[in-house]
Amino acid sequence: MKEWYDAIQEAQSVERLEEIRISVFGKKGVLAAEFVKMKKAPNEEKAKIAKDLNMHKSNLMNEFTARKITLQTQELQEAMKAEAIDVSLFSTSSSSGALHPVMETMDRIVEYFSSMNFAVKTGQIVEDDFNNFEALNLPKYHPARDMQDTFYFKDEMLLRTHTSPVQIRTMMSTKPPIRMIAPGAVFRRDYDLTHTPMFHQVEGLLVDEEGKVSFANLKYILEDFLKYMFGDVEVRFRPSFFPFTEPSAEVDISCVFCSGKGCRVCSKTGWLEVLGCGIVDPNVFAAVKYENVSGYAFGLGVERFAMLIHQIGDLRSLFEGDIKLLEQFQ
Ligand code: PHE
């Protein structure tokens, strides 16, 4: 029997101990065999042998249990040591979110005009005819309304087609002077390579006493702004038409893809149109009951800016939520 006491003491793993348990206490184990042998012993010795065997059985069981607890504790401690996590280590890879390129571009635009003391106004997305059209010198049946195919609700309300109604709301509720921008979503019934039903604009408006605001002021700030956004580009103003400004201009920058040499993106012209602007039309001031004032206004599409800054080819990719595209902007 001594060898089994030694075996239990020497067992180095719970697994080994289990093998010993089967060899000692199992149906075909050492103890069972001894009890079988005992039956063949002379009667007068049987009682002593049985007593001996039972004593060993219970001692071995105690040894076994004690050893098992020791080994289990040891194994647990080793496992905990091996699997320990050092929470102070830096992680090797981490993925964090990032601003969508449109929002990042919008933030940059807001940053520029905030630094120039323009207040940020948000207005509202569901507008009425007066603020979106009428007060902006776009009376009913004016052909220019067709330029902005509109989503209408039943009760004469509509989804704003541009951020210009925020100018009207601001002038209706505040006295001049005014220096504001309005960033936000706008909606038009349009969907193709270069148009999506929802996109973002930033509107700008500056109003001061009559004679104080000139086209030169507008030209200066827009040139400075476009250089801030696009770096060292050339800027040109082309005469254009908007119902709410007179005179009006569209603003181009030299193509950021070919530096003005002429390529596919700029249709070989070397120029990219990025802004609409002008001197506020007197009819607009009349609609909001402003007198003896002058002002300028401008409007731009944020998606277009984002596409030109990040050289994104297809406008629609900005709205598909494709993780492969977005990951490039982390
Ligand atoms: N509201 C015009 C548009 O959506 C942009 C614009 C704003 C033009 C202000 C001139 C002045 O196209």
Q: Cα torsion for 259, 265, 269, 274, to the nearest 10°? A: -80
Cα 261 to ligand 1 centre (Å)? 28
The number of residues in the chain equals 330
* pLDDT computed for residue 148 by the predictor: 67
Residue 147 has pLDDT above 70, yes or no: no
Between residues 44 and 166, the one the model is more confident about:
166
Farthest CA pair distance, the chain: 134
Spatial distance between the Cα atoms of 284 and 290, rounded to a whole number of angstroms: 9
The pick from 113, 162, 238 for probing ligand 1's pocket by mutation, whose C-beta has the most ligand atoms within 8 angstroms, reads 162
Mean pLDDT to the nearest integer, 201-223: 97
Work out which ligand 1 atom sits closest to the CA atom of 204: 9
Which among 134, 177, 170 has a CA at the least distance from the CA of 293? 177
Cα 298 to ligand 1 centre (Å)? 6
Between residues 154 and 119, the one the model is more confident about:
119
Cα 162 to ligand 1 centre (Å)? 7
Residue 91 has pLDDT above 80, yes or no: no
| Owner of token pair 């020497």 | 10
Residue 114 has pLDDT above 80, yes or no: yes
* pLDDT computed for residue 155 by the predictor: 85
Which among 159, 142, 162, 143 has a CA at the least distance from the CA of 151? 159
Residue 97 has pLDDT above 90, yes or no: no
Spatial distance between the Cα atoms of 250 and 271, rounded to a whole number of angstroms: 12
Residue nearest atom 10 of ligand 1, based on CA coordinates: 277
Work out which ligand 1 atom sits closest to the CA atom of 248: 10
* Strand boundaries in 147-303, DSSP class E: 157-159, 178-187, 198-209, 235-242, 245-254, 271-280, 293-301
65-69, 141-145, 201-205, 228-232: range with lowest mean pLDDT: 141-145
Question: In what side-by-side order are the strands of the sheet with 271-280?
Answer: 119-120, 178-187, 198-209, 293-301, 271-280, 245-254, 235-242
In CATH terms, the fold of domain 101-329 is BirA Bifunctional Protein; domain 2 (3.30.930)
Strands 178-187 and 119-120 turn out to be parallel
Cα 141 to ligand 1 centre (Å)? 19
Work out which ligand 1 atom sits closest to the CA atom of 300: 5
Cα 277 to ligand 1 centre (Å)? 6
Residue 216 has pLDDT above 80, yes or no: yes
Cα 70 to ligand 1 centre (Å)? 82
Residue 311 has pLDDT above 90, yes or no: no
The pick from 148, 167, 203, 206 for probing ligand 1's pocket by mutation, whose C-beta has the most ligand atoms within 8 angstroms, reads 203
Spatial distance between the Cα atoms of 300 and 274, rounded to a whole number of angstroms: 7
Cα 300 to ligand 1 centre (Å)? 7
- Asked if 182 and 144 count as a contact pair (C-beta separation under 8 A), the reply is no
Mean pLDDT to the nearest integer, 294-323: 91
Protein residues with CB under 6 Å of any ligand 1 atom = 162, 164, 203, 242, 245, 276-278, 297-299
Cα 26 to ligand 1 centre (Å)? 92
The residue type at 312: I
> Which residues in 280-306 are b (16+ Cβ under 10 Å) and which e?
bbeebbebbebeebbbbbbbbbbbbbb
* pLDDT computed for residue 200 by the predictor: 97
Residue nearest atom 2 of ligand 1, based on CA coordinates: 299
Residue nearest atom 8 of ligand 1, based on CA coordinates: 276
Residue 239, C-beta contacts closer than 8 angstroms, at least 6 positions apart: 247, 248, 249
Residue nearest atom 7 of ligand 1, based on CA coordinates: 299
Spatial distance between the Cα atoms of 318 and 326, rounded to a whole number of angstroms: 9
Mean pLDDT to the nearest integer, 252-265: 92
Cα 276 to ligand 1 centre (Å)? 5
Q: Cα torsion for 242, 243, 246, 249, to the nearest 10°? A: 0
Q: For the segment 168-192, what is each residue's pLDDT rounded down to a tens digit?
A: 999 999 999 999 999 999 999 988 7
Mean pLDDT to the nearest integer, 195-201: 93
| Owner of token pair 């069972």 | 32
Q: For the segment 21-80, what is each residue's pLDDT rounded down to a tens digit?
A: 999 999 999 999 988 988 888 888 888 999 999 999 999 999 999 999 999 999 999 999
Cα 164 to ligand 1 centre (Å)? 7
Residue 217, C-beta contacts closer than 8 angstroms, at least 6 positions apart: 206, 296
Spans of all domains in the chain: 2-77, 101-329
Residue-averaged pLDDT of the chain: 92
Work out which ligand 1 atom sits closest to the CA atom of 277: 10
Residue 313 has pLDDT above 80, yes or no: no
